[in-house]
Structure 1
Amino acid sequence: MTVSSADPGVTLPRGMVIARAWADLGDAVAPLSNASGHPLARTVKLLLDPLVLRPVLNPHLASGAVAAEHADELRAAIVAAGPALAATAAWFQLLKKARRKAGITDGHPQDLYFQHCYELAHRYGHPESTPDAARVASGSIADLHAPADRLTVAELRRFVTDPANRAELTRLLRAVWSVPREQEHVPADAGVTGFLATCATDPDPRLFSSLVARAAGTGGAGELAQPGVARSYGLTDRSRITPPELGDSASKRQLPRPLDRSVFERLFAAFRQVAADDADTVVRAEIHRTAQPWQLADEASRVVMVLGREASAGLSGEQATGAGGRLRSRWAREAYVRRVLRMPSAVPGDLLADVHGVRGAYLRRLWVRLHGRELRREPLAAVELWSLLDGVLRSVIMDQRDRLRSALERAVR
């Protein structure tokens, strides 16, 4: 890609420059790409930014808009890293195979393995040229999932079930929920619509920062106090949000909806993402989080919930443009969605309800993603928000598609 640098004032969306450079790498990096052939959000976050583009050393390549005179430099850096990225993608496939063989289900493979695979690529080269690649992959999985010197679920359970701790934590839970909170619903900030209009192609960091500074997320949470609203968003099964229990047990197969979970269940559901703190710090922070707007601690997270609420409205049939229109279009293109809506009698009731309740599924998963980011202390940047919003819908689609496929396969046995 050649871009004229005659006008030093010309800038290009960074995501567009990266996507065009990524396309030059071809199918070898498909495991690191999304359905559109662009690099996954985690590929950018975990590989391209810290290991290839290195924005700390190259700040001119870090912002959401890249000056035209630097576009070729960015592209050249990605193309030069192509062989290493291809090897990284191949190692990632091997590690996932070893993970399945070991019966491991905890943690997100991309989060856990991307950077390690990049290290393997530099140490061994492509796995095709490594005679014992399968052994290296199995050893990596064993090392990566070895118990670390950090908080465990067993320690967390012992902490919350200790009688002295439990009494104090119960008092704290009662206290934080007894503090009066502003319940007035503030209509959607005009900036929310403005940000969603362009976030997929040209995200505006200043507008996102302005929404955070104006507490647009907190204002948008006010409606959750109204009967039935949080339930309509799929965040609770109750008519009104109630204070959570402290809890001392959890099962991933039977987790309640996000705002119905006990403190213990919330931490258990995202335990791999909990920062390496002691049980006291983790539990107290979670108790305080439960009493905040959207039951999230950071205003940036709350703003994203409002963005998701507005963008997902199109999934339930409302008119939508910008980010909402893109989500609606992706959903409407899914063959299984058309099949379910065309032949509802051939689909199990729970799956039919899933398709009709996609907005609730979307907002539930968005909340879970944001909660996990807070537990990892991972900041939110405007340039990655479209990848987050779009990735949540992709994840919902994949889950629903897999459940429908399994149900149909059982029906014909």
Structure 2
Amino acid sequence: MVQGITDSAAVPRGMLIADAWAQLGDAVAPLSNPSGRPLARTVKLILDPLVLRPTLNPRFAGGVIGVEHVDELRRTVLAAGPALAATAAWFQLVKRARRRAGVTEGHPQDLYFQRCFELAHTHGDPRDLPGAAGVAAETVADVHAERGEVTVDRLRRFVTDPVRAIELAGLLRVAWEDRSHEQREQGAGPGLTEFLDGCATRPDERLWQSLADNGIGTAAAADLDRPGVARDFGLTERDRPAPPALGDRASKRQLPRPFDRSIMERLFAAFTAVFQRESMADIPSLVVGEIHRSAAAWQLASEAGRVTMVLGREASTGLDGTGLDSGAALPSSDANARLLRRWQRESYVHRVLRLPDPQAPGIPEDLREEVRTVRRAYLRRLWARLHGRELRGEATAASGVWDLLDGVLRSVVMDQRDRLRRSLERHGNRA
């Protein structure tokens, strides 16, 4: 346990990672900064996507870690110590191979960190491998041969090829024409509240499976085609969901609402995160799969994902300004109560909602609106995480549902809190 913070409800994530990293010693020095902490790129390219995997382990996401998960995160980093030490050794060897090859383009950490982690898992420590220098040279040559085949470029070329674009547009039209009209409208659904009452402490695997087997998520998606429903959930700007375009460009800073994204934008959002290399290989399958996914219930392919969206819809009831009122409705489930408590104890939320002057310096109006309608941001992020899991082939089990539901709110809260702090600091105030 990190010294001096054992009594806190949560531990700053960066402090916890730095504490565990320091115990790995000089073996990871090539991946560390002068103060002995992991480099920003080490966290971004290795620790987060390949060791901690916060998308798969929402309890490791966000700027703070619940005290109940501190030891687990620490053990996870320490358990990866041998692989990280081997990664550092491979990085040193690959950099020498790069210099010998006269390569100067690109940042070595961006280009080689993840490949060195792969080499560590494939070959172990290079000092124990005869011919390791040759492997490093081949790696440098391979990386720079691939530079002309960047995955997003391949995706763009695939969806914009004139002949192929006609075929894909036909697939998209047929997929939306074949959307099921047999979905029945449904409210909370049998078993949803019961599952939400126990998912944080005693997740019921059989009940979870029953919800999926009975198509509860698919049934509840019928509501999304009613005017304004999907828009009120923050999933689209339109009155009703409509077929997406194929698209020809995408920007991470200007992504539309989930249901309004083109096929290009949906896959681009995933490619800008760290993907398993094999998941990036088959662009045609990814594009065709995304076309069919866009026409499915909740625009998700798996029933487990659809059920999770319905659970998130129910658990997030009251996550807005009214959730702070003393006269607000009673929580509908244990999960709903837990999310409301997390939201209600955020002091920045009270600050933003209670300030009477909409022009108060340091509080952007769009942030005010996000706080007032946080449920929309919550459901958007939940959809994005489920969509990413599907693209990576990661299943959602009963035991992981609460960590996911809670982690999404934690992530939204951290983003909003950071935005407020930055805005206030620019105006000379403090959050």
**The two structures share one fold, judged by TM-score above 0.5:** yes
Q: CA deviation at 1:389?
A: 0.4
- Compared CA separation, residues 246 and 87, structure 1 to 2 (3 A): same
Q: 2:374 aligns with which of 349, 358, 361?
A: 358
Fraction of identical pairs, as percent: 47
Within the alignment, does 1:337 sit opposite 2:349 as a pair? yes
**SS of alignment partner, residue 318 of structure 2:** helix
Q: CA deviation at 1:343?
A: 1.4
**RMSD in angstroms over aligned alpha carbons?**
3.9
**SS of alignment partner, residue 163 of structure 2:** helix
Within the alignment, does 1:327 sit opposite 2:339 as a pair? yes
Within the alignment, does 1:383 sit opposite 2:395 as a pair? no
After the TM superposition, which residues 114-133 of structure 1 pair with which residues of structure 2 at under 5 Å, given as runs? 114=52, 118=78, 121-122=81-82
Q: 1:367 aligns with which of 383, 405, 411?
A: 383
Q: 1:143 aligns with which of 106, 112, 116?
A: 112
Q: 1:298 aligns with which of 290, 302, 307?
A: 302
- Compared CA separation, residues 190 and 87, structure 1 to 2 (3 A): farther
Alignment-derived partner of residue 256 in structure 2: 256
Q: 1:288 aligns with which of 281, 285, 292?
A: 292
Note if contact 1:85-1:118 (Cα within 8 Å) is conserved in structure 2: no
Alignment-derived partner of residue 69 in structure 1: none
Alignment-derived partner of residue 173 in structure 2: 174
Note if contact 1:314-1:327 (Cα within 8 Å) is conserved in structure 2: no
Q: CA deviation at 1:179?
A: 1.0
Structure 2 portions without partners, runs of 5+:
54-75, 96-107, 116-142, 324-328
Alignment-derived partner of residue 110 in structure 1: 48
Q: CA deviation at 1:351?
A: 0.9
Note if contact 1:84-1:118 (Cα within 8 Å) is conserved in structure 2: yes
Note if contact 1:247-1:265 (Cα within 8 Å) is conserved in structure 2: yes
Q: 2:425 aligns with which of 400, 403, 409?
A: 409
Of structures 1 and 2, the one with the larger relative CO (CA 8 A, separation 6+) is 2
User: 1:29 & 1:253 partners in 2: Cα distance?
Assistant: 38
Note if contact 2:319-2:340 (Cα within 8 Å) is conserved in structure 1: yes
Within the alignment, does 1:27 sit opposite 2:2 as a pair? yes
Q: CA deviation at 1:393?
A: 0.3
User: 1:294 & 1:83 partners in 2: Cα distance?
Assistant: 40
User: 1:295 & 1:85 partners in 2: Cα distance?
Assistant: 43
Q: CA deviation at 1:187?
A: 2.2
Letter of the structure 1 residue corresponding to residue 2 of structure 2:
D
Alignment-derived partner of residue 222 in structure 1: 222
Note if contact 1:29-1:86 (Cα within 8 Å) is conserved in structure 2: no
- Compute the TM-score of the two structures, normalised by the length of structure 2: 0.69
Question: Deviations for 1:43-86, whole angstroms, at most 9, x for unmatched residues?
Answer: 9xxxxxxxxxxxxxxxxxxxxxxxxxxxxxxxxxxxxxx99996
Structure 1 portions without partners, runs of 5+:
1-25, 44-81
Q: CA deviation at 1:112?
A: 2.7
Letter of the structure 1 residue corresponding to residue 346 of structure 2:
E
User: 2:4 & 2:383 partners in 1: Cα distance?
Assistant: 30
- Compute the TM-score of the two structures, normalised by the length of structure 1: 0.72
Question: Deviations for 1:106-127, whole angstroms, at most 9, x for unmatched residues?
Answer: x6952234499556623688xx
Letter of the structure 2 residue corresponding to residue 240 of structure 1:
R
Alignment-derived partner of residue 315 in structure 1: 319
Question: Deviations for 1:138-169, whole angstroms, at most 9, x for unmatched residues?
Answer: 98765334559797001111111111111100
Note if contact 1:227-1:240 (Cα within 8 Å) is conserved in structure 2: yes
- Of stretches 149-158 and 227-236 in structure 1, the one that deviates more from structure 2 is 149-158
- Of stretches 108-117 and 257-266 in structure 1, the one that deviates more from structure 2 is 108-117
Note if contact 2:20-2:78 (Cα within 8 Å) is conserved in structure 1: no
After the TM superposition, which residues 237-256 of structure 1 pair with which residues of structure 2 at under 5 Å, given as runs? 237-256=237-256
